[in-house]
Structure formats: C-alpha cells, structure tokens
Amino acid sequence: MPKVLLIGAGGVGAVVAHKCAQLPEVFSEIVLASRTKSKCDAIAAQLPRPCVTEQVDADNVPQTVAMLRKHKPDLVINVALPYQDLHIMDACLEAGVNYLDTANYEPPDHAKFEYKWQWAYHDRFKQAGLMALLGSGFDPGVTSVFCTYGRKHFIPELTEIDIIDCNAGSHGQPFATNFNPEINIREVTSQGRFWHDGKWAETPPLSVKSPFTMPEDLGTLNIYLMYHEELESLAKHIPELKRARFWMSFSDNYLKHLEVLGNVGMTRIDPVRFNGVDIIPLKFLKVLLPDPASLGPLTKGKTCIGCQLKGKDAAGKDSAVFIFNICDHEACFAEVRSQAISYTTGVPAMIGAKMMLTGKWSGKGVFNMEQFDPDPFMEDLNLYGLPWRILNQPVFQTPNL
C-alpha cells in the first residue's frame, strides 16, 4: 500500500495530513517531516490514526535523501517553502521517489515566479522513471484543472482566461496574511503580468483594479491584476490561448498597511546591516506578524475562487462559462482546524497525490496540472470538500487591457 512523506508543517501541511489520514485505503502510511519536529508532532496528535514524524532541513539534500531512504515513500508531498523546491527535487531524484508540490520554485534573493528551473528537471525525472507534479494547490492547481475541464466539455477553442481569487472572510487582525507572510508579500508586491496575443505584458504592482460581484450573494470586492505562475504553464499548454490574467481581492486596510510597510523598507528582500548583523527586513517582518496557522479559529466568512473562460464552442459560436468554488472558513476549521486559505491548497495537494498513487494520472518527467485528464480530479473535488459549480455566462466585465 502506498506511503507518502509530507515535508512542511504549516497550515497547508496540516490540512494535507488531515485529508490523507481520512483515506487509509490510498495513503496507508504517512510520514510528517519539518525543520521543527514539534510542529509535526502537534499535527500528528490531531489525526485519527498514527503517523511517523521526523526532523529535516529540506535545504540539506544529503539529510533529506537519508530520510527518504529510511522511510522509502512512494511519493513526497512538498508543502515547504518554494525556495526549497529544487533541493527536494534533487533529493527525490537521488532517492528514487516521485514528487508533488503546490507552488513553483522561487529564488530566495529575487521575487520571481517562473517554471524554467523546475521544467529543466524534466529529462532527469524521465530518465529516472519518476514523475513530478507541479502546482497541485488551488491557484495554481485547481484553477488549471478548471480551465482544462471547461476546454474539454464546453469551450474547445479556449481563447481567454480570467482567474479570480476572492477572500470575503475576516480574521479581525489589524494586519495579517492568510498564508506564509514572506511568500504572500513577495507575490503581491511584484509586477503585474499577463498573457496577451502571444507575449507577456506588464503593469506596475496592483495598479489595475476592477470591482467583482461574487456569486451566491457574497458581495462585491475590488480585485487587482497580478502575476501568478499558472498563467505561464497555461500559455504553454493551451496553444489557442490569446489572453490570460490573474486577479486577487485585497481590502483597503490590507493595502494601506502594505503601502506603509513598503515605504519604510520592511518589505525589502535584500540584506540590511543592523547591530553588526545582516538581516532581511521581510524575514524580520514575518516574525512579527501573526502566524497564518493561528488565524483558523478567528476567521469567518467565505472564499470564492474561479475561472472565467471564453472562446468558441464545438459549433464555433462564442461561449463563456465561470467555474468556481466557494469555501467557508468556519467549516474548514471545524473539519481540520485550519482556515479556508490553507484548506483550498491542502485538499488539492491530497487529490493530486491520490491521482498519482492510484494511476489516474501517470507519466515520467515533470508535469503541470493541465497536462492530465481533468475529470477524475474534478470528481474528487466534489467528494473531498471543494465542490464546484458552473455558470454558463460571464460574471466579470473584464477591463480592456
């Protein structure tokens, strides 16, 4: 029976562990590993069945290889920091273990989201007879599957994609991020970027916004044009695609705090000398901000994440659909003791692992989510906590960029 080894014990790691533990017929054994073993032990204590915990520095490839050889897992689920992706992929190659992650590699000293570093591993994984699945979270992850499902069943000539990520929840804190503060702030303060007519166009960070009225009477939020990694892989794997954009909601309060922190240099990722020691301001800020895992019992409201797809249907007529999920923060906490942001990333990580371990998705090399049949993944979203709906009409009047 398959054994999985999870690396990372933050909010997402906790959700993945809970969801894997609910399916012993697929995940017969679970190993939890992190730099801080006590965090793994705390997660393990919440699970309905025993699991093994380990301490590992995922940046230390020989140490990670030794752990993999000790436990001999069928799959590594990487929910550590994106900086560590390549080190964990190196360890998987050396130990002969399949690999899955939820976010693409980022170099520590440069806030840049690009798949080239991981795509470069394709031949090595192929030659080793191993599979690596990239970006099996919600965005990236489910958003790509939504796109390929819409393309398969409704819009075979898919020319426009708008991915919309809204959080209509509130945690009551003056300023906090719903996932790792360091990664969140690097992402938000980067240049906006979107695919248009075969090339990339850029905008200043958060300079383009539009109101978006969410389905199911969740209200209207301002959403902002950003860059997100699935745009790159979708543009590569959907040849007829003319335009692809990513939008995320932010409150005025969040943006004001972020502006002030940026103005005083607290979002910098370059070293600053302080009392004879080099520190990274953003890493110091991360220590001061609330741990996203602590927001679970405080957060109320819902998230709405979906893809508006446009193009030509099988008859050649203009067509549009909106495929989306709505997730309740309080319901997530009641089930797995995490808020919806962690839940919407952790559940797809478990489902992606299930696709690999059951042979629904298979291959040798490095793959993105949209390269596989979306149907079994979409079925499991409904079964394991992220039910989706389809509206056969556009819901977002997109700005003309």
Q: What is the pLDDT at residue 174?
A: 84
Q: Is residue 226 a contact partner of residue 258, using CB atoms and an 8 Å limit?
A: no
Q: Is residue 146 a contact partner of residue 294, using CB atoms and an 8 Å limit?
A: no
Q: Is residue 32 a contact partner of residue 65, using CB atoms and an 8 Å limit?
A: no
Q: Is 122 exposed, middle or buried (0-12, 13-18, 19+ CB in 10 A)?
A: middle
Q: What is the pLDDT at residue 51?
A: 95
Q: What is the pLDDT at residue 367?
A: 98
Q: What is the pLDDT at residue 398?
A: 77
Task: Kindly state the average pLDDT of the residues 367-377.
Answer: 98
Q: Within a 10 A sphere around the Cβ of 388, how many other Cβ atoms?
A: 17
Asked if the model's pLDDT at residue 112 lies above 80, the reply is no
Q: What is the pLDDT at residue 91?
A: 98
Task: Kindly state the average pLDDT of the residues 363-368.
Answer: 98
Asked if the model's pLDDT at residue 111 lies above 90, the reply is no
Q: Is residue 152 a contact partner of residue 259, using CB atoms and an 8 Å limit?
A: no
Instruction: Quote the percentage of the chain above a pLDDT of 70.
Output: 100
- Give the model's confidence band at 144: pLDDT under 50 very low, under 70 low, under 90 confident, else very high: very high
How much is the mean pLDDT over the chain? 94
pLDDT in tens, 28-82: 999 999 999 999 999 999 999 999 999 999 999 999 999 999 999 999 999 998 9
Asked if the model's pLDDT at residue 190 lies above 90, the reply is no
Q: What is the pLDDT at residue 114?
A: 87
Structural domains in the chain plus CATH codes = 3-134 (3.40.50.720), 142-336 (3.30.360.10)
Asked if the model's pLDDT at residue 376 lies above 80, the reply is yes
Q: What is the pLDDT at residue 4?
A: 98
